[in-house]
Amino acid sequence: MMKFKPNQTRTYDGEGFKRRAACLCFRDDQEDEVLLVSSSRHPDQWIVPGGGVEPEEEPCGAAVREVYEEAGVKGKLGRLLGIFEHNQDRKHRTYVYTLIVTETLEAWEDSVNIGRKRKWFKVDEAIRVLQSHKPVHAEYLLTLPNTCNPPCSPGCNPTNGNSPSSHGTDNSSPHCVVCATQGSDLVNR
């Protein structure tokens, strides 16, 4: 299902969840510093860059595109951290990936168009910042230590100069977790 907005198309899965994608953008492989961006609705608050999956777009490609548009960075796409369901006010299903930043643009689409800012945070500080106004985004970071290491989404080919790390097709390797917020249990897939 699709729903048209003035400048974007919202896509929904078969269960009525809005399809979204996001990346936790890290400074390096140690994953101890994460890049957050200012919210377009509340410029004094920080969020994880992400947004809607467009028609015919894979979630990993959408995540890379959203990071490029909102944070002005490119990098090496890593593993799928999980699929987070948010049901409190809107039904969202967000695919969250890791990304190691390799290039930072001086000016980028959202910095020019809406004055969006970006800032590096230590992970524990980012969790505190996000918990006050975007607790579902804090959940992404809280899940970080418990996620699988093999990259997910075989066959994903994101654009904007970002490329996924090598994808294995070994079915015996662990699959990433699916996370449902708002009191739901974690479910392995």
Residues 69, 70, 85, 109: which is the catalytic one?
69
Beta bridge partners of 17: none
User: For this structure, is 69 an active site residue?
Assistant: yes
Q: Which of 189, 174, 146, 158 is nearest to 64 (CA)?
A: 158
Q: For residues 155-189, b (16+ Cβ closer than 10 Å) or e, as one string?
A: ebebeeebebeeeeeeeeeeebbbbbbeeeeeeee
Beta bridge partners of 86: 92
Which positions are annotated as active-site residues? 69
